[in-house]
Structures are given as C-alpha cells and as structure tokens.
Amino acid sequence: MKLLEWVNIKPVESLKGKDLLTLFDYSTEEVKELLELAIDLKFLTKEEKCPPLLAGKTLGMIFEKHSTRTRISFEVGMQQLGGHGMFMHSRDLQIGRGESIPDTAKVLSGYLDGIMIRANSHEMVEELAEHASIPVINGLTDLFHPCQALADLLTLQEVKGGLAGKKLAYIGDGNNVAHSLAIAAAHMGMHIHIASPREYEPVEWISEKISKLAITNGGSYAVTSNPVEAVKSADCIYTDVWTSMGQEQEAEARLAAFEQFQVNDHLVAHAKSDYVFLHCLPAHREEEVTASVIDGPNSYVFQQAENRLHAQKAVLASLL
C-alpha cells in the first residue's frame, strides 16, 4: 500500500524537524493537529493498517530514569511506524563518564534521526537540543512531561468530546506532570484548578505562563490549597504519586504534607457524577488515590496509558 492511499494521515508539517521540550513551544493549533493525527493513527493501528511513515528512521532513546510506559510506548511506536527505537541508558554512554552534552549531541546527530531523553534536569535536555541537529523529544524532566500531557488530552477528548470550557482538577504535587497537564489544558481553553500544599505548588513562573495561555484560549487557571474547592463540579480529576523518583528521602515529609490530598470517594463526590479520573501511573493505591476510585467506573487510567503510544506516534511522525 502506498503512502498516498493514507489520504487522511497528515503529519503536522510546521513541526517537521522541531524539538518537543515543552508544550509552551507549540501553538494551540499545532497541539490540536497532533491530537487529530493521534486519533487517526490509533484507528489505523487497531485496523492493522498503520502507515510506515518512519521507514528507515532510528530514534535514540536515552534514559537517566527507570521507565515502563515511556520506553515501551516509544519503542513500539517507532516499530509500528516502520522505524526503529534504540534504548540507551545514560550509564552505558560516554555521557555517563563525563563526555560533554554538546559533544554527545553532535555525535548522536550523525547517527540518528531523533533523540528521546528521559532525564533528571530540564536544563540538560535544553542543552542537548541546542547542540543537536536532529529533533529532541522530552520524555520527562524535573519540570515538564509533555508526551504524558498529550496522552491525557487524547483520553479526555475520546471520553468527553470537546474540551473547551471543561473543568480539570489536579490534586497533589505541583510537579512536572501538573505543569505539562495544565499547559495542554490551557491550549484547549479548559478551566484548570490545581490543589497542592503551599510548599508543593507549581513553579511560579510556569503558573504565570499557563494562566496567560488559558485566558488567551477562553479558559482559566487557579492554584489552591483546598482539594474540595478544586474538585467541585469538575469534569476530570487527576492525581500523581506524592513521592516521585529521586525524592525518596522526602517520602516521610511528603506523606504528612499530602495527607489531606488523597483522591477518595469523599472527595470525588464533589465532582460531576460523570467525572473522568486520570493518573499517569505508576499509582500507589490507598496513598494518593484509593482503590475504589482508580479501579472504579470513572477511571480511564489504562486507556490513558495506552494513549501514550498513539500520542507519541503523532509526535514522532511529525517531528521525524
């Protein structure tokens, strides 16, 4: 079957050759086009007719952190699009022995068609992208997780349809997931409410940019320390673990700080009856969320996890 026969498959042309470091760098129209492409690619995958848009292409995947969903979804995504994903742990590369980031970026640019990196520092990923001549995709940093946010939007769009004007409540740590989720929702004109303990709120400069983006698109953005206020009449409730990788030494303090921020039956009773529950996984049942919620009828966490694959295929097809 020739590529011309996939008449509806149109990678986002304006993103060709670009990086994906944060969704702040993409226009609202580009985010919407990526979601449309992801829906098309998901349908064709289910029909076993996914087009080999990336035949002959190789994605290098650098990991400083452990991963289940990110590694497997990117590797399978490249395979389904006809390309190849190459796993590389940072400790196995010369970068793990002190080779400079600019040198690594230039060397990998001569071998690969794109780089996906799951890193500790966002600044490191920015430096890698600055010196690479091929697209760099942020698979997670301390500040942003844009690929997760695209999967989140895709899931909400499948379940709820139009997203403009919908209320999204994020409960818990104002971390990388919260940042990117809120940026993505702001592109859609949603009303975003983040409830976090005061010392764990989203980064101030990121919140300021999200607020401006949301208002521009007809939505709104608010940060509170009151989970009930955030969840009231919400269309979607989202949470994440209270202690992320690299924060293990803070676990005891975090458990105490987030004690009143558990997503449970009492809290979700304040949302709309048909609310959608999302979690980026892995989840700690009976900690940030009870089993009754995450395993209940309003939970779409496994559809959300699968959508990492399809959202990322849209990114890969467009950038590579």
pLDDT tens across 163-175, in order?
A: 999 999 999 999 9
Q: Is 312 an active-site residue? A: no
Q: Residue 160's CB: how many other CB atoms inside 10 A?
A: 14
Catalytic residue among 80, 148, 157, 262: 148
Residue identified by tokens 């994903």 is 85
118 is catalytic: yes
Question: Can 280 be counted among the known catalytic residues?
Answer: yes
Is 240 assigned a catalytic role?
yes
**Active-site residue identified among 40, 113, 118, 179:** 118
36-93 pLDDT, tens digit per residue, is 999 999 999 888 889 999 999 999 999 998 899 999 999 999 999 999 999 998 888 8
Catalytic residue among 187, 191, 308, 310: 308
Alpha helices in the chain, H assignment, sequence order: 28-46, 69-80, 101-111, 122-131, 146-160, 176-187, 204-216, 227-231, 251-257, 265-268, 291-294, 301-319
Considering the candidates 279, 280, 304, 312, report the single residue annotated as catalytic: 280
244 compared with 286, residue with greater pLDDT: 286
Split at pLDDT 50, 70, 90, the class of 4 is very low
DSSP-assigned beta bridge partners for residue 222: 193
Burial tier of 131 (Cβ tally within 10 Å: 0-12, 13-18, 19+):
middle
Q: What is the C-alpha to C-alpha distance for residues 154 and 144, in angstroms, rounded to an integer?
A: 18
Catalytic residue among 145, 191, 193, 310: 145
Catalytic residue status for 147 = no
Asked if pLDDT for residue 259 goes beyond 90, the answer is yes
Active site residue 235: no
